[in-house]
């Protein structure tokens, strides 16, 4: 055997420089006691890396990488036989050989001079690429790693494995451990606890290979450990694991066939270690391990050895503590049945029973604590009826976050007193209160109800929303399932996810069955379930009856994926708008030429109907559409149709024209139907660069400096937000931050009144510590997006929905003098809210559709500008859309990564430095037929499809590759295209089809935000020479500042009050307020604060609640390995926050639109009182030491209302 010092890591690397070569040298005269690290360090320090030296002349120069291998001694042992090899890149090797021939190379190891001579051996491609691309690793680092592995190689014998929960006995404040399940390994079987340093986990393996066929593993990832405690009790040496989530449980066959390769998935994920464990696993997941005491003079104390192993592995050492452990049997079948029986009696108060289940299943309380509250909860239902569910919702959240020493009953009484002071929330139109359940391998996690946008099905059963559940399938950390190569995922998913989908589940006294999903929800592994109920008009309602009512799916019934996708239309989140009679809409033919459909997914509506839809939407929006441009296109769902409709000025009255390409299924027998609005395009979006787009543009010829210039400008814009109110508000507007708090307008209005962040002698100070922290949080969020996702704004560019030129349709009907867009040309007219005139885009552009994967996913087109006025032009008045030609030899949208016109957004870029001249043909992948059965699909077939989708969800593969022109990357582009189409055609991507990495290291830009906490070290990354690498290294992040001293906050806010006071007093002179017009401000604030606290804990990615600053900017700043999950949580958080702010403003001042001046003065007085309340209570809270959480953002809400009232009364200059 040979030993080596060498760097490896794991992904496809930049293959644009594959003409590499390497040279190998034989080494001899090596001291037999020298290690590979000794030789490596000597060659580096004495020759290759000596600076200044023969190979390195500049301290900034990249150090040459090389590989050393020493041959093992024939007699065995750790010594070498005096020989080995030394491999370097060809350029370095030639230089080294020349110097060696001239005897200018001198390397001495252990007083022996090494000798070198070149060999004729072939060097592998992987080695060549590693030497060329990977950074040199200090051998001391590898030596330290080897030392850690040696130090951790000896495991610990385990006597007992216990799973249970922590509790406070008799409310003493001291935590104890309740053993809910135990495996005694001294009487039968055996177990070992081992540290796996490279995988950053501990593994407890249970099973005796001599007597048992199966081995079980309890896997505890290091990042799952919240606290570790250890001690000795009655001669038992124990370790207590306080875990953030349940450990991973696996099983494997002891005696596998010998021909199983290393890639074979020999382990299986399981949800339980035994039937007894399975009964308590949904409620108890903490771990206690009793170690066999093999302490002696040589080994040392067993607990000290375990603590040292923790330190070596990178964990904090366990604290020595006495933690009593006994079998309290909180979750025996008897106690669980007592709770279940009680919940059965509360069946008519399902919202309450849901929260009681949440207390148990989320780990907030055990059965005896919950049962002790029975009389109090029964009284709550009796006294407060429907409102009891809302109070219990807050109680469940408070219980989960209460101090350890606080008894559950005390927490309940505290919540009860707070909640009775506020009124009940009612969701706005188009929304409802939705309960959410997450299935993990061992648990059901319950959330909500939270305000969620409704869909067609939910609206059909208004008043029965509590019978519907959103159900997600996730791993224990709530992220998508992730599988290692040795784990068989499919069998587990069929057993866990498939069983739930096919058989349903019981919760809080109801049985729920799988109903359906929306396409976007499927991507996040979320579906809808429903519990049967009786409806006064529709009778007995079940999942089957709801699906049967959606439409006629006979055309797709043989394809499970298409069957599911068609039903998904009914579950798309939409806003209700107007109802049409069957005579007010019609079907028109698609524009088609030589088999090419140019109107795939697009229809038209009349101007009158567009205005009617807009007026209906505005009635339900908080700003009534004042900050939007009336759309000329909508994304809709209507009966069995889906897609876009654009305004056709030639249509008269109220009418809509749909096309066959929009029709997905029949809905017979409907005289009236609602137009459901999925999206209303009220303004152009600003596109950003991203990693795939940068890669493709670079491969197409865009200069690296163009990207660096854009990045430098974006970074400068972000950091200049500290300089002035204008720069701060500009940053917020550009990145759509703090939108729900109106902070952009608030800053600009205060600035117009003479307040500034850094005031001169003529200005007042605008800044406060709270505003400063909001600013720092916003800057941090923007910079992180730039660094880790290359999210860089593109100037002179827009993101617009695509529509078709309707001109050819009129030509086909015999109209004359009709202007039609030629092939290769587009039309786009842009208008932002506040613009007096629109802007017509003219000139050469790049157009793309995210995500770009293939080089041909970006095309050059010409924007025509203002259309001709002497011809009939159907699209002349369209705004904030991009119009594509409907004639020619190819459909441009379809050429852009398979796009269509049913709502896809397209980036139209005119920024000069990125207008690459090189053309690349669009991707041409062979079409695949949808997967079909030889019989009609059943709902069980759809369930099987969902399981397969979760198992093979590989759309993420696009983001981890460095280069787009290489054949392997083009193969990835094709696989990505298939993965995107998988939900519709049912043809999954087999993971073994993915190209293998030549070398096991990644480009440095691939390093995640969690690199400090992940399994990878920084030496797992090479320095990429691509533009992405330069962009990644070009930006340094700054730590968020600590909170300023709270005492300065109120004092600085007084300058704002002083600046506003005279304007308020002038308006309120002679005003007489009306009694009883509004709720007391302290009552409004109490409700606001509690709901804000609920949002901050519910949507956090960890045990730490979101900060008030995060809530104000509308982003979650915590690190997260899954960006999709973070986006989902941010979206849900903003939905709940938007609703909270809407009702808070309503409670404070009522409706502003349409208010008379007299009414506005009353609202101004109210807003001034609310602002003053926030300032006065801030000082009081600081003096008393009470929490300020919620008070400062409440002040922002009041300040925004105050300024809006003044503006409407004409007291402020226009923005």
- The pLDDT tens digits of the residues spanning 382-392 come to 988 888 998 99
Looking at the DSSP bridge assignments, the partners of residue 217 are: 205, 250
Give pLDDT tens digits for 992-1004.
555 555 455 677 8
Q: Please determine, for residue 1133, whether its predicted confidence score (pLDDT) is greater than 70.
A: yes
Sheet hosting strand 510-516, strand order edge to edge:
444-453, 431-439, 468-473, 526-530, 510-516, 505-507
Characterize 596-632 residue by residue with b for buried, 16 or more Cβ atoms within 10 angstroms of its Cβ, and e for exposed. Answer: ebbbbbbbbbbbebbebbbebbbeebbebbeebbbbb
Q: Please determine, for residue 757, whether its predicted confidence score (pLDDT) is greater than 60.
A: yes
| pLDDT at residue 805 in the model | 96
Q: Please determine, for residue 41, whether its predicted confidence score (pLDDT) is greater than 70.
A: yes
Q: Which of 1208, 599, 1197, 483 minimizes the C-alpha distance to 886?
A: 599
SS (H, E, C) 314-383: CCCCCEECCCCEECCCCCCHHHHHHHHHHHHHCCCCHHHHHHHHHHHHCCCCCHHHHHHCHHHHHHHHHH
Lowest mean pLDDT among 32-41, 217-226, 683-692, 994-1003: 994-1003
Average pLDDT for residues 800-812, to the nearest whole number?
95
Average pLDDT for residues 583-610, to the nearest whole number?
94
Residue by residue, DSSP assigns 112-162 as: EE-EEEE--PPPPHHHHHHHHHSPP--HHHHHHHHHHHHHT-S-EEEEEEE
Average pLDDT for residues 407-421, to the nearest whole number?
83
Q: Given pLDDT bands bounded at 50, 70 and 90, which one contains residue 603?
A: very high
| pLDDT at residue 522 in the model | 92
Angstrom CA distances, 388 to 27, 353, 394, 419, stand at 81, 10, 10, 10
Q: Kindly report the number of other CB atoms within 10 A of residue 95's CB atom.
A: 17
| pLDDT at residue 996 in the model | 53
Unique residue bearing structure tokens 């009050």: 1057
pTM for the model stands at 0.86
| pLDDT at residue 1153 in the model | 84
| pLDDT at residue 1180 in the model | 61
| pLDDT at residue 876 in the model | 94
| pLDDT at residue 142 in the model | 77
* Crossing angle for the helix pair 139-151 and 302-313, to the nearest 10 degrees: 150
Q: Which residue has the higher pLDDT, 210 or 943?
A: 943
Whole-angstrom Cα distance, residue 972 to residue 995? 7
| pLDDT at residue 897 in the model | 83
Whole-angstrom Cα distance, residue 1057 to residue 1041? 26
Q: Given pLDDT bands bounded at 50, 70 and 90, which one contains residue 19?
A: very low
Angstrom CA distances, 74 to 82, 116, 1204, stand at 11, 22, 86
Average pLDDT for residues 188-197, to the nearest whole number?
92
| pLDDT at residue 209 in the model | 84
| pLDDT at residue 642 in the model | 94
Average pLDDT for residues 244-256, to the nearest whole number?
89
Q: Given pLDDT bands bounded at 50, 70 and 90, which one contains residue 1055?
A: confident
Lowest mean pLDDT among 255-269, 393-407, 480-494, 896-910: 255-269
Sheet hosting strand 575-581, strand order edge to edge:
575-581, 672-680, 633-638, 641-647, 602-605, 656-658, 585-587
Give pLDDT tens digits for 346-356.
988 999 999 99
Task: Tell me the percentage of the chain whose pLDDT exceeds 70.
Answer: 88
Q: Which residue has the higher pLDDT, 336 or 428?
A: 336
Q: Is the C-alpha dihedral spanning 845, 850, 853, 854 positive or negative? A: negative
Q: Given pLDDT bands bounded at 50, 70 and 90, which one contains residue 402?
A: confident
| Long-range residue pairs from 491-497, CB within 8 A, at least 24 positions apart, any chain | 491/268, 492/268, 492/269, 492/270, 492/441, 493/947, 493/950, 493/951, 494/947, 496/271, 496/439, 496/441, 497/439, 497/473, 497/946, 497/947, 497/950
Characterize 677-687 residue by residue with b for buried, 16 or more Cβ atoms within 10 angstroms of its Cβ, and e for exposed. Answer: bbbbbbbbeeb
Average pLDDT for residues 721-750, to the nearest whole number?
94
Domain ranges of the chain: 2-136, 152-326, 337-420, 426-550, 588-686+795-914, 689-793+1045-1208, 958-1033
Q: Given pLDDT bands bounded at 50, 70 and 90, which one contains residue 668?
A: confident
Whether residue 304 contacts residue 296, with contact meaning beta carbons closer than 8 Å, is answered with no
State how beta strands 286-291 and 325-326 pair.
Answer: unpaired
CA dihedral (611, 616, 622, 627) in degrees, to 10, reads: -10
Average pLDDT for residues 277-281, to the nearest whole number?
95
Whether residue 889 contacts residue 835, with contact meaning beta carbons closer than 8 Å, is answered with no
Average pLDDT for residues 554-579, to the nearest whole number?
91
Q: Kindly report the number of other CB atoms within 10 A of residue 170's CB atom.
A: 8
Max Cα separation, the chain? 105
Give pLDDT tens digits for 962-995.
454 555 555 555 555 555 555 556 556 555 555 5
| pLDDT at residue 266 in the model | 78
Kindly state the helix (H) or strand (E) to which residue 534 belongs, with its residue range.
strand 533-535
Strands (E), 761-877: 764-765, 792-793, 797-804, 825-830, 839-840, 842-848, 858-864
User: Does the N-terminal peptide bond of residue 851 adopt cis geometry, omega within 30 degrees of 0?
Assistant: yes
| pLDDT at residue 293 in the model | 86
DSSP tag of 1149: H
CATH class of 2-136: alpha beta
Average pLDDT for residues 280-301, to the nearest whole number?
87
C-alpha 1008: how far from chain center: 14
Q: Which residue has the higher pLDDT, 295 or 1044?
A: 295
Angstrom CA distances, 1167 to 537, 765, 1206, stand at 46, 22, 10
| pLDDT at residue 699 in the model | 87
Strands (E), 616-740: 633-638, 641-647, 656-658, 672-680, 688-689
Task: Tell me the percentage of the chain whose pLDDT exceeds 90.
Answer: 60
Whole-angstrom Cα distance, residue 696 to residue 710? 17
Q: Given pLDDT bands bounded at 50, 70 and 90, which one contains residue 88?
A: very high
DSSP tag of 494: I
Q: Please determine, for residue 764, whether its predicted confidence score (pLDDT) is greater than 80.
A: yes
Angstrom CA distances, 519 to 244, 572, 607, 981, stand at 31, 7, 30, 11
Q: Given pLDDT bands bounded at 50, 70 and 90, which one contains residue 9?
A: very low
Q: Which residue has the higher pLDDT, 965 or 1040?
A: 1040
Q: Which residues contact 438 (CB under 8 A, 6 or more apart)?
A: 444, 445, 447, 471, 472, 473, 474, 478
CA dihedral (995, 1001, 1005, 1008) in degrees, to 10, reads: 100
Looking at the DSSP bridge assignments, the partners of residue 674 are: 579
Q: Please determine, for residue 900, whether its predicted confidence score (pLDDT) is greater than 80.
A: yes
Q: Which of 430, 429, 982 minimizes the C-alpha distance to 678?
A: 430
Q: Please determine, for residue 1108, whether its predicted confidence score (pLDDT) is greater than 90.
A: yes
Whether residue 1029 contacts residue 1023, with contact meaning beta carbons closer than 8 Å, is answered with yes
C-alpha 239: how far from chain center: 34
Whether residue 75 contacts residue 145, with contact meaning beta carbons closer than 8 Å, is answered with no
Unique residue bearing structure tokens 């054949």: 967
State how beta strands 487-488 and 533-535 pair.
Answer: unpaired
Q: Which residue has the higher pLDDT, 373 or 79?
A: 373
Average pLDDT over the chain reads 87
Q: Which residue has the higher pLDDT, 130 or 1010?
A: 130
């Amino acid at each position: 055997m040979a030993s080596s010092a060498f760097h490896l890591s794991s992904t496809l690397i930049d293959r644009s420089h594959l003409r590499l070569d390497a040279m190998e040298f034989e080494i001899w005269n090596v001291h037999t006691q020298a290690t590979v690290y000794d030789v490596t360090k000597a060659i580096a320090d004495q020759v290759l890396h000596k600076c200044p030296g023969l190979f390195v002349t500049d301290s900034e120069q990249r150090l040459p990488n090389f590989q050393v291998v020493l041959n093992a001694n024939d007699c065995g042992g750790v010594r070498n036989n005096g020989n080995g090899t030394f491999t370097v890149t060809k350029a370095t090797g030639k230089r080294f050989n020349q110097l060696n021939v001239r005897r200018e190379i001198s390397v001495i190891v252990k007083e022996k001079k090494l000798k070198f001579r070149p060999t004729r051996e072939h060097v592998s491609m992987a080695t060549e690429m590693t030497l060329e691309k990977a950074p040199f690793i200090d051998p001391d680092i590898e030596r330290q790693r080897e030392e850690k592995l040696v130090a951790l190689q000896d495991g610990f014998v385990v006597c007992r494995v216990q799973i249970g929960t922590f509790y406070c006995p008799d409310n003493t404040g001291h935590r104890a451990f309740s053993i809910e399940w135990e495996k005694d390994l001294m009487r039968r079987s055996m177990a070992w606890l081992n540290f796996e340093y490279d995988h950053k986990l501990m593994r407890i393996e249970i099973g005796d290979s001599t007597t048992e066929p199966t081995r079980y593993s309890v896997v505890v990832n290091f990042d799952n450990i919240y606290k570790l405690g250890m001690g000795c009790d009655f001669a038992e040496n124990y370790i207590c694991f306080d875990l953030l989530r349940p450990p991973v449980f696996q099983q494997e066959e002891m005696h596998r066939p010998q021909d199983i390769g290393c890639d074979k998935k020999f382990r299986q994920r399981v949800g339980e270690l035994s039937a007894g464990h399975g009964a308590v696993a949904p409620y108890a997941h903490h771990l206690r391990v009793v170690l066999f005491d093999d302490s002696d003079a040589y080994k040392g104390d067993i607990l000290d050895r375990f603590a040292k192993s923790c330190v070596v592995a990178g964990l904090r050492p366990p604290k020595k503590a006495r933690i009593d452990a006994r079998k309290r049997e909180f979750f025996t079948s008897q106690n669980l049945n007592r709770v279940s029986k009680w919940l059965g009696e509360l069946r008519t108060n399902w919202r309450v029973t849901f929260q009681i289940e949440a207390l148990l299943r989320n780990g907030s309380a055990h059965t005896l604590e919950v049962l002790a509250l029975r009389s109090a909860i029964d009284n709550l239902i009796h006294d407060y009826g429907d409102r009891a569910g809302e109070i219990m919702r807050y109680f469940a959240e408070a219980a989960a976050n209460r101090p350890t020493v606080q008894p559950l009953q005390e927490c309940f009484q505290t919540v009860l007193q707070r909640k009775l002071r506020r009124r009940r929330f009612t969701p706005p139109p188009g929304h409802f209160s939705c309960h959410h359940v997450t299935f993990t391998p061992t648990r059901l996690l319950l959330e909500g109800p939270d305000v969620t946008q409704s869909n067609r099905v939910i609206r059909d059963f208004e008043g029965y929303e509590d019978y519907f559940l959103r159900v997600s399938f996730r791993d224990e950390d709530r992220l998508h399932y992730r599988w290692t190569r040795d784990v068989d995922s499919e069998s587990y998913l069929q057993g866990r996810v498939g069983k739930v989908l096919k058989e349903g589940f019981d919760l809080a006294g109801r049985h729920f069955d799988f109903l359906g999903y929306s396409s976007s929800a499927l991507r996040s592994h979320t579906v809808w379930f429903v519990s049967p109920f009786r409806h006064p008009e529709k009778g007995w309602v079940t999942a089957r009856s709801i699906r049967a009512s959606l439409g006629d799916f006979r055309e797709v019934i043989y394809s499970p994926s298409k069957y599911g996708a068609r039903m998904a239309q009914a579950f798309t989140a939409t806003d209700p708008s107007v109802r049409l009679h069957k005579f007010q809409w019609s079907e028109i033919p698609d524009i088609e030429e030589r088999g090419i459909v140019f109107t795939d997914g697009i229809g038209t509506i009349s101007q009158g109907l567009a205005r009617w839809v807009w007026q209906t939407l505005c009635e339900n929006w908080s700003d009534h559409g004042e900050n939007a441009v009336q759309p000329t296109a909508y994304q809709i769902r209507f009966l069995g149709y889906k897609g876009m409709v654009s305004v056709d000025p030639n249509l008269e009255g109220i009418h809509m024209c749909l096309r066959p390409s929009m029709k997905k299924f029949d809905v017979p027998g409907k005289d009236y139907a609602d137009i459901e609005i999925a999206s209303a395009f009220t303004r152009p979006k600003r596109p950003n660069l991203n990693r795939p787009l940068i890669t493709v543009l670079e491969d197409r010829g865009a200069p690296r400096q163009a990207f660096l210039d854009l990045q430098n400008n974006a970074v400068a814009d972000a950091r200049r937000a500290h300089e002035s109110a204008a720069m701060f508000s500009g940053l917020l507007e550009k990145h759509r931050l703090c939108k729900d708090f109106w902070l952009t307008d608030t800053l600009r209005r205060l600035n117009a009144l003479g307040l500034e962040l850094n005031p001169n002698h003529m200005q007042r100070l605008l800044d406060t510590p709270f505003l400063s922290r909001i600013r720092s949080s916003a800057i941090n969020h923007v910079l992180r997006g730039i660094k880790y996702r290359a999210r860089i704004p593109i100037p002179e560019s827009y993101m617009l929905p695509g529509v078709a030129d309707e001109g050819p349709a009129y030509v086909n009907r015999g109209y004359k003098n009709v202007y039609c867009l030629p092939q290769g040309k587009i039309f786009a007219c842009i208008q932002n809210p506040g613009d007096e005139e629109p802007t017509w885009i003219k000139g050469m552009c790049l157009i793309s559709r995210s995500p770009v994967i293939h080089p041909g996913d970006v095309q050059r087109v010409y924007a025509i500008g203002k259309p001709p006025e002497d011809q009939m032009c159907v699209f002349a008045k369209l705004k904030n859309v991009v119009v594509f030609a409907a004639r020619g030899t190819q459909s441009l949208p379809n050429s852009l990564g398979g796009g269509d016109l049913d709502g896809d957004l397209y980036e139209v870029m005119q920024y000069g430095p990125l207008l690459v001249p090189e053309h690349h043909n669009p991707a041409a992948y062979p079409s695949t037929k949808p997967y079909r059965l030889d019989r009609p699909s059943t709902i069980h077939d759809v369930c099987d499809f969902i399981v397969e989708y979760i198992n093979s969800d590989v759309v993420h593969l696009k983001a981890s590759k460095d280069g787009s022109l290489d054949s392997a990357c083009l193969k990835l582009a094709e696989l990505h295209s298939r993965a995107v189409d998988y939900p519709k055609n049912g043809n999954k991507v087999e993971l073994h089809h993915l190209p293998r990495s030549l070398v096991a290291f990644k480009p440095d830009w691939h390093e995640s935000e969690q690199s400090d906490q992940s399994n990878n070290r920084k030496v797992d990354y090479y320095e990429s020479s691509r533009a992405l690498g330069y962009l990644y290294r070009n930006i340094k992040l700054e730590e968020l500042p600590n909170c300023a001293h709270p005492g300065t906050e109120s004092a600085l806010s007084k300058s704002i009050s002083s600046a506003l006071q005279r304007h308020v007093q002038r308006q309120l002179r002679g005003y007489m307020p009306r009694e009883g017009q509004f709720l007391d401000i302290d009552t409004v604030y109490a409700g606001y604060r509690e709901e804000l606290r609920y949002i901050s804990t519910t949507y956090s990615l960890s045990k730490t609640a979101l900060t008030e600053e995060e809530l104000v900017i509308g982003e979650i700043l915590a690190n997260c390995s899954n960006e999709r999950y973070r986006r989902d949580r941010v979206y849900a958080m903003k939905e709940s926050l938007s609703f909270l702010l809407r009702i808070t403003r309503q409670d404070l001042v009522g409706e502003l639109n349409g208010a008379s001046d007299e009414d506005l003065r009353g609202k101004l007085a109210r807003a001034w009182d609310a602002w003053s309340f926030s300032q006065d209570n801030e000082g009081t809270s600081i003096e008393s030491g009470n929490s300020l959480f919620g008070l400062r953002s409440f002040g922002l809400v009041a300040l925004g209302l105050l300024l809006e009232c003044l503006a409407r009364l004409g007291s402020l200059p226009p923005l």
